Structures are given as C-alpha cells and as structure tokens.
C-alpha cells in the first residue's frame, strides 16, 4: 500500500513539525493535516488552512499506547483494553485530558481525542518526531477544507490545500478510506461509552472487548465534533439516495430534460449501454468505504446535475458508510467558501 519513502524525507517531515510547520501524512483511514500538538501556534495554522472553526477539537496522533499518560488522565481500564486490542488502528478514544494539552487542540474542552494510526509512514513520522525532541503528539484533522470530502490520496491533499502545507508525505491510497470510529470514554464510570462517529471498528467489536455496547450517536449533549454535523463530507454537486428499482426512471427523466445524472452504484447496471455515468464501487462495505471519497471527488469534478447514490443495504456492516452518505447528501450542493 505505502510507496517507498526515504528516511531523509521522514526526518525532514519531523523537523518541519518541530519547527511549527504543517505536514500532511497518510493514515489507514484518510490523510491527516499534522501539526505539533504541543505548539498552539502550529495548531492555529491547521485551523487557518482548513477554514475550520477554532472550537472544533483535533485528534492527537501518537506512536504507541505507551504515550497515553502524557496526554490523558484518569484513564479507565476500558481505554487500556481497547488500545491494546485495536491500536494501531482506526479507533479514536476521547479521554479526560492532561492539563498541559493546549486548548487550541481540545477546543477548550476538558477532554482530548487520541489515536495510534495503522500506517507505516504515519508511525515512522510519529516515532521520528518523538525522537527528534518533539512532543510525540501530532494533532491532525483530515486534510481537507472544512465540511468537504476527506482526502484518501496525496493528490487530493495537494489539490485542496496546496501551498498551505509545507510537505505532503505520499503513502498511496488509504486502505480504510473513511475516518476513524470515535468513542467517548470520558464520562466513565458514571456515564457509559458513547459512539460519537461510526467507523470501521463497529460497536459490536468494541462491545466484544469491553463487555459494554456503546450508546449510539444522535443523543443530546454530544460534544462538538465536526464529523457529527448533519452536513459534512460533502461534494458541491447535489446528491440523493435512490432505491435501485427507481434508478432507471430517474436516469431517463434526467436524460429527457437534458440534465446530467451520475450513479454511484454498488451493483451492476440493470441494462447494458447505460447512457449516463455508472460509477461502480465494490459490493462489500469495506471495499465501498475504501473507494467512496475518491469516487465522490471524481463525480464532483464531472460537473453533473445530480449524483444519485444507489441505496445501500440496511445492515450493521454498512452503518459507517450510511453515516457518511447521509451527511454528504445533507451538505451536497452547498457552496461554502470557507
Ligand atoms: O481517521 C481519522 O480520525 C482522521 C485521521 C487523520 O486520523 N482524522 C479525522 O480528524 O477525521 P477530523 O478532525 O476530521 O475529525 C475528528 C473528529 C472531529 O469531529 C472532532 O470534533 C472530534 O474528532 N474530536 C476530537 N477531539 C474531540 C473531543 N475531545 N471531544 C469530542 N470530539 C472530539
Ligand atoms: Mg474531517
């Protein structure tokens, strides 16, 4: 998956972080826009580059679970169990923060999001950064403009953030393709674990490790999390979810009125020689997730009047994809210039 990356390039990246610059890097989920998490001025550059409101907290990436205590306090046993089981991997834990974690990272909240990404380049960067004298924590949101589609290739990052980033490490396309599962453990033991964002690590997989099923999102009083805004991950083309048996009618209606509609599908076209773009994604949820964002970017570029998304199965393994699609549909077509 990762393209070969020379040691000097990793060292350069670590030095740039240490100097307060921004470095974009691949993770197994999406590309991150990294800054030294202990340097508020560097973290401020992340918000400026993304056009993100400053009260939205960032995830701090660590080289290994051994660094947890430097960033979090009162760590519950559930967190240690999950870290041992899923890290490195696509799970972010929200824990009570250490007092030294800058407000710029946490959005002023008393909690901090932490994860160890499962990507050789990310891990090499995090280790080298710690060894070069850095804080060991790299604050990194997804490397896209606020509200837009997360990048899953280095090219996506360059085209969207360009000169705002000192360096983009290229690790090829991301293997998971959608953002990490976010689990809030900061209310333990009084309040149970809460799932703030679904991802590749399912509530069932979490329950199998800690014996408690996290409460699903949608509940009141959720902490600020931009991935939990109704409109997010959105292309600028209008989007709609359409049942498979209604796709053909929709396509012909568009054709007859001279408008262009592309289909984002996971099953074969119902008839040969479809006149409109039929963008076929893998039929399994993991494969679909891996290619989803790149396909949305591609269809967005084609300047269609509508992206019709073939309705996906209503089963637990599709929950994270369903979440991203519904947010994309909600935000689609809005041309914010932030
Ligand atoms: O897979 C991922 O998580 C990627 C890669 C780069 O690691 N990162 C990512 O970051 O998706 P971002 O900033 O786009 O989304 C992180 C989410 C945001 O919704 C943020 O509000 C939430 O995590 N978050 C971070 N710290 C939090 C905290 N202390 N409490 C509640 N939510 C938090
Ligand atoms: Mg994001």
The response to whether residue 140 sits with its C-beta less than 6 Å from ligand 1 reads yes
142 lines ligand 1 (CB under 6 A): yes
Shared domain check, 258 and 183:
no
Domain shared by 74 and 165, yes or no = yes
**Domain match, 129 and 258 both:** no
Examine the domain organization and report whether 204 and 257 are in the same domain: no
Q: For residue 215, tell me if it sits in a domain.
A: no
Q: Show Cβ contacts of residue 184 under 8 Å, excluding neighbours closer than 6 positions.
A: 94, 111, 193, 194, 195, 196, 223
Ligand nearest to the CA of 320: 1
Give the ligand whose atoms come closest to the C-alpha of residue 117.
Answer: 1
Q: Beta-strand (E) ranges in the chain?
A: 23-25, 32-36, 59-61, 91-96, 111-115, 138-139, 167-168, 181-184, 194-197, 239-242, 261-265, 278-280, 306-310
Point out the ligand 1 atom lying closest to the alpha carbon of residue 106. 29
- Any domain includes 226: no
Determine if ligand 1 sits within 6 Å of the CB of residue 59.
yes
SS3 of residue 198 by DSSP: coil
Flag whether 229 is in a domain. no
- Span 43-96, pLDDT tens digits: 999 999 999 988 899 999 999 999 999 999 999 999 999 999 999 999 999 999
> CB of 92 closer than 6 A to ligand 1?
yes
Judgement on whether residues 292 and 187 belong to the same structural domain of the protein: no
Same domain, 71 and 116: yes
Could you tell me the two tokens for 153? 């290739």
Atom of ligand 1 nearest to the CA of 180: 1
**CB-based contacts of 218: which residues, under 8 Å, 6+ apart?**
none
The CB of 112 under 6 Å from ligand 1? The reply is yes
* C-alpha 255 chain-centroid distance: 35
What's the pLDDT score for residue 228?
A: 58
Distance CA 20, CA 25 (A): 15
Q: Is residue 20 part of a domain?
A: yes
Ligand with minimal distance to 149 CA: 2
Q: 196 CA to middle of ligand 1, Å?
A: 10
Decide if 95 is inside a domain.
Answer: yes
pLDDT digits (tens, 9 = 90+) for 88-128: 999 999 999 999 999 999 999 999 999 999 999 999 999 99
Q: What is the CATH number of the domain that holds 319?
A: 3.40.50.11030
In-domain check, residue 141: yes
Taking the C-alpha atoms of 255, 261, 262 and 263 in order, what is their torsion angle to the nearest 10 degrees? -80
When divided into structural domains, the chain yields a total of: 2
Average pLDDT of the segment spanning 169-193: 97
Nearest to 320 by CA among 108, 30, 79: 30
- What is the domain extent for residue 193? 7-210
């Amino acid at each position: 998956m990762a393209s070969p990356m020379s040691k000097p390039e990793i060292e350069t990246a670590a030095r740039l972080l240490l100097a307060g610059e921004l470095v974009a890097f691949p993770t197994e989920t999406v590309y991150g826009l990294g800054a030294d998490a202990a340097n508020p001025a560097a973290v401020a550059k992340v918000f400026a580059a993304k056009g993100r409101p400053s009260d939205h907290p960032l995830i701090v990436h660590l080289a290994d679970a051994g660094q947890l205590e430097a960033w979090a306090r009162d760590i519950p046993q559930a967190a240690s169990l999950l870290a041992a089981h899923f890290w490195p991997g696509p799970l972010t834990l929200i824990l009570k923060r250490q007092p030294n974690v800058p407000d710029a990272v946490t959005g002023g909240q008393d909690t901090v999001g932490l994860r160890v990404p499962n990507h050789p380049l990310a891990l090499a960067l995090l280790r080298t950064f710690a060894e070069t004298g850095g804080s060991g924590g790299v604050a990194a949101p997804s490397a896209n403009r606020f509200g837009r589609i997360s990048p899953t290739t280095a090219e996506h990052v360059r085209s969207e953030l360009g000169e705002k980033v000192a360096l983009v490490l290229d690790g090829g396309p991301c293997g998971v393709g959608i953002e990490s599962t976010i689990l809030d453990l900061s209310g333990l033991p009084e309040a149970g674990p809460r799932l703030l964002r679904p991802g590749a690590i399912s509530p069932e997989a979490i329950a199998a490790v800690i014996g408690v099923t996290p409460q699903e999102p949608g509940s009141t009083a959720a902490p600020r999390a931009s991935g939990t805004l109704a409109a997010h991950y959105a292309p600028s083309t209008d989007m709609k979810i359409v049942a498979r048996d209604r796709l053909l009618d929709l396509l012909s209606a568009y054709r007859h009125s001279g408008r262009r509609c592309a289909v984002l599908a996971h099953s074969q076209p119902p008839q040969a020689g479809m006149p409109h773009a039929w963008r076929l994604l893998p039929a399994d949820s993991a494969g679909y997730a891996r290619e989803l964002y790149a396909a949305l970017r591609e269809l967005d570029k084609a300047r269609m009047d509508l992206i019709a998304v073939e309705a996906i199965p209503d089963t637990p393994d599709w929950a994270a994809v369903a979440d991203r699609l519904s947010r994309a549909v909600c935000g689609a077509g809005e041309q914010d210039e932030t």
